[in-house]
Each structure stands twice: as structure tokens, then as C-alpha cells.
Structure 1
């Protein structure tokens, strides 16, 4: 089935002119680049969530009253004392935070990680199809250019 759809797609590409093929290839390449950027963003977000889940796990093991460094920014830490390890603030985006129990915070991170993995897999499938279209259009374009050159060369 996949080979018949691939051959019919190639047949459709064969019917196109050189300019149309160039435009299709450029569009497909642009979409491939955008999808790759999206995949990289998902990987980055997933790494951050896994780091947050690890931090929550580490925090849950610390006793109350434990002295620690609290991150204010990526490079600025201030000394602090663990007051209540049972509750955490969860950043839900755009500057909004929700207070949750430690278990709910861990669950939130795990659900987000699972969602990102699912989105990654779906985007990866779309990327593979777009790459296939771009490659196929490139091959047909090269073939047509060679044919044109052969026809114009005495």
C-alpha cells in the first residue's frame, strides 16, 4: 500500500513543471526545518521537565529545616531553609503558579512529560513524511533538469 501511494505521488510530481517542483521542494524544505525546530523545542522542554521532576524527588527526601540554596534565576542562588517540603509551587506557564502537594507536583511533571513524548512522536511522523516529499520532489526535479539539459545539448 505504501509503495502504491509513493508511486502515485511520484506520478503526480512527474506531471509538474520545473518551477512548480522547485516551489514544492522549497516549501517542503522550509516545513522540514520548522518541524525540526519544533522537535528541538520539545526535547528542550522535556529535559527541563525531567530536571524539575528530579528536583521534586530530591526535595521530597530532604528534612524540614534543611539549609539549602534557592535558585532565583539560572545563575543567582540565595541561602534558604526548607520550611514545608509537602507543598510546592508549579509554574503552569505565562507567569502563573499553582500551589500543589509534592505528589501532585510530581504527577503534573510526569503528565507533561508523557504529553511531550506523545507530541514528539506525532511530529516525528509528520517530519518523516515531509522529508519524503522533499526528497521525492528533489529527485524528480533533478531528473527533469537532466532531461532538459540533454534535450538542449547538441
Structure 2
């Protein structure tokens, strides 16, 4: 993001930008910033959605794991295209990736709860990004309308 302020429109609920009082240079600068921020926000949407899909897949996989009986034969991935046969001696616990290269062994219910918590966090992030995009789109539209109003007014005054 550009600019020196870390305050975003979504950080100040209810605050409206009166574009009608701003000089043309300020309108142009704000417009450019809003467009850049919209681009950045739109690029984060698929990343967050991907993380949501990963959490859903993890929860489903853990739930399916519960149906495996001890000593059932399973395929263990070595690479994306290589597997080895193995046995699961204990189906009551799973290893969960915590992030930052760390994993933890958890009971199946705890692992599902952990993944559900992460899922809710990602969904909240997605909601915040969508709200920020809506505010930015509104600001962009206001600026575009004001620029058009000024153009029409300037043209009318010249005639």
C-alpha cells in the first residue's frame, strides 16, 4: 500500500470522505491509492479462500481417519507422486501442522477443534477483506463521480 498512514477506511467505521471538497491533485492521489489497495486486496482473496479450502480438507481428512481401524493398511505419501504402504497402529491421535515448521500430536477431537478454529479465523479474514473492498469500491466510485461532475461543470462554464 502507498501513503504514510496505516489507517484504512475500514478502521474508522462510519467515516466518509467528502470528495467534493478536495482539490483535483488530492482526488487523483487518493484515487491511485484506492486502486492500488483494491488490487492488493483482490489478490489476497484467492489466498484466503485457498487457506479456507485447506482447513475444510483437513477437517474432512481427520474425520475420515476416524473410520480407519488400527493396523489397517494405508498409503503414506513420500512425494506428490510416490507412496508407500503402511499401517496405522493408533487412530486416536493425528499430527497437525501448527505453522512455522512445527507440528503437534493431538487427539482427533482436539485436532478437529483446532482446524475449526483456524477455519473460523480464515473466514473472518475473508469477511474483513470483502468489507474493505466494498468500502474501497465505494470510495473509487465517489471519486469517479466527482471527477465527472467537475468535468461536466468545467465544460458547461466554458460554453
Paired residue total:
146
55, 59, 64: which one aligns with 2:61: 55
**Structure showing the higher helix proportion among its residues:** 1
Return 5+ residue gaps in structure 1 as ranges.
Answer: none
Q: TM-score, normalised by structure 2?
A: 0.80
The corresponding residue for 1:119 is: 125
Deviations along 1:69-101, one digit per CA (max 9) or x if unpaired, are 123444443322222211111101111001111
Partner Cα separation in structure 2 for residue 112 and residue 50 of structure 1:
10
Partner Cα separation in structure 2 for residue 31 and residue 67 of structure 1:
50
Return 5+ residue gaps in structure 2 as ranges.
Answer: 1-13
Counterpart secondary structure, 2:66: helix
Q: TM-score, normalised by structure 1?
A: 0.82
Shift of 1:40: 2.1
The corresponding residue for 2:29 is: 23
Counterpart secondary structure, 1:89: strand
Greater length-normalized contact order (CA 8 Å, ≥ 6 residues apart):
1
Partner Cα separation in structure 2 for residue 78 and residue 147 of structure 1:
74
Partner Cα separation in structure 2 for residue 114 and residue 74 of structure 1:
28
The corresponding residue for 1:86 is: 92
CA RMSD of aligned residues (A): 2.1
Counterpart secondary structure, 2:91: coil
Partner Cα separation in structure 2 for residue 141 and residue 125 of structure 1:
24
